[in-house]
Each structure stands twice: as C-alpha cells, then as structure tokens.
Structure 1
C-alpha cells in the first residue's frame, strides 16, 4: 500500500502542470526587454522572427498594458509552434508565453488580463492569422476586421474566448 501511495504521489509531482508546455523553459536567455516595459509587471516572453515588425508592435501594446515584455528573436519560430502543439490553423506570426500559457498571434491585452484573472485549464490563446485592427496590426488606411480570440485546450481543440 505504501508503495502504491509513493508511486501515485511521485507521478503527480512529476507530471507537467496545466501551465507548463513541452518541457520548455520560457524564461530569461538571449533576449531584450522592450523599452518602456514595467520592470515589476507580469512577464510576457515574445518569440518572433527578426524581420516581423507587427510582432514588435504587438509587444509594445502589451507594454502599454503594464506588462514586462521580453523580446526573443527566433530563427526557428515554426519549430517552437510545433513543439508547443500549435497547429497551422491556429498559427500567426509570433508566439508568446505568460504564466505558463501560450499566446499565439495578436491577442489583445484585455483577453490576456481575463486569462490571468480566471486561470482556465487551457494551453493558451490564439488569434489565427493577422487580422487588421488587432494589436500590432492597426492601420488607418484599411478597415479593421472583426476577429475572435480562441481558447485552445491541451488536445488542440479551440473554442471562442473573446470576440472583437
């Protein structure tokens, strides 16, 4: 009986938490904090391609919302998405991590605030594609698009989390 309890406890402690992903440590490394970041804010780790300007703009919007955004240039952003279980149907140009959740694409700060307030048992949030008018994709020359923020469970199934 003691052996069964020991093994059960060990498997619970060794299992990944609901907010860890793929065994990756999305913490400090070769990175740059986006200027203006709240040094005491909740950390968002942004992974993007070097040439993607809208990703950097999205990070700046998160800074405006009080977050500390750590910018990581990645040469293998698609490999990161695959390792995190982010399917191509959910993908956008950048991937971020906050408090163990993935944030895929141009997710608004309000949705991230709601995520962190409610702490649902999901893998992360996604705004597939690059909808005009979403954070980092603002433009004065074109009409904005309505879009949805999707909650993605640990099996990759998506449901509507917010609509804009």
Structure 2
C-alpha cells in the first residue's frame, strides 16, 4: 500500500477508533472523571462532552417513544366514524390497535372509571391506563413515560382539530385532562386554537 493511501486509511479510521475508545471509557468511568483525566487535550474533552450530550439526547428521545407495536385496545360504537380516524392516526404512530365494537360504550366507560364530564366517543386502554377520546399521541406517550398515579387521560367531547376530528385548518382550543378513581380531574396539557 502506498504511503498516501495508508495516510488516507488512517485518517478515515481515526474518528472511528477515537469514538470507540471514548465509548469504552464512558462505560467504564463517569464522564466527569474522564474529562478531568483528559484536561490536557481540549479536542478530546470537547469530543467527550459532545458524545455525552448526544447520548443523553438519544436516551431522552427513546424514553418518550413507545416501543413499536405496543398494543392498545380501543372500544368504540359501530356507528362512530371519527373513532376510525383516531385509530388510524395511532396506528401511524406505531401503536397496534385491537378494536372492539360495542353498542354499550357507556358500560365500558363505567368499567374504566371515566367521569361523565370527561367522556368522549371512544375509550382505549393501554398498559393499564385509559385514553378517552381524541387524545394526541404526544400526550399518550407522555402518560406511558411518566406513569403518573391516575386512571388515565381524556379529551372530553370531540373538539375540532384533534386527531381524527380534522376539518381543514380549523382547530378549536382543547385541554387534555388526567383523572383518578374518585373522578378528580386536572389539566395534563393544553392546546390553544390556531
């Protein structure tokens, strides 16, 4: 191999080897201790700091994303068409949905302790939590990540602009509520009108 080619290969491999070494060091030592040991070489300290930052961002992003294929059971009335829009939306976000058609949706809501004032057209259950109505996927993911001590979350009624209730550019303001077994509700997230 010619000297020029050898130099090119070395230059190409250097970031890979350094990255792998930093990965091994980061697993072995806390990042702060490694930074202290590498003070003399500012480029390695910078590289280490960036690696920690990127690693933390990836970890945080993974934490809020549900595993692909997580199953959600959705109870809905056979006559409700907007429920299908929300179900399709959740499927596109990676959730598997098992749909159960029922003519007695009120009995489902009572079974899962959904307060009357927070009721909507369909009721979903995932990981032991209730998701009532046209709740945006971000709020479902947050619920599954934070695991609060609640029965579930709800978007009461059917506000225009929520997933499955789209009507052009129109978006009504709405609130996602969390609720407990005693029917106490509090705001989980708020969406202004656009």
Aligning the two structures, in what range does the TM-score lie when normalised by the shorter sequence? Answer: 0.7 to 0.9
Q: Distance in 1 between matches of 2:127 and 2:174?
A: 24
- 2:173 alignment partner in structure 1: 146
- 1:137 aligns to what? 165
Structure 1 residue aligned with 2:184: 157
Matched with 2:94 is 66
Superposed CA RMSD in Å reads: 1.4
Scaled by the length of structure 2, the TM-score of the pair is 0.62
1: CA distance between counterparts of 2:111 and 2:146?
A: 26
CA distance in 2, matches of 1:161, 1:58: 19
Match of 2:82 among 48, 54, 58: 54
| Equivalent position SS for 1:69 | strand
Aligned residues: 125
Q: 2: distance between equivalents of 1:84 and 1:119?
A: 17
Q: Deviations over 1:78-116 (max 9, x none)?
A: 111112221210100000001000111001110000001
Instruction: Kindly name which structure, 1 or 2, has the bigger radius of gyration based on alpha carbons.
Output: 2
Specify the SS of the correspondent of 2:161. Answer: coil
- Kindly report which structure 2 residues correspond to 1:42-121, keeping only aligned pairs within 5 A, or say none: 42-121=70-149
Higher relative contact order (CA 8 A, sep 6+): 1
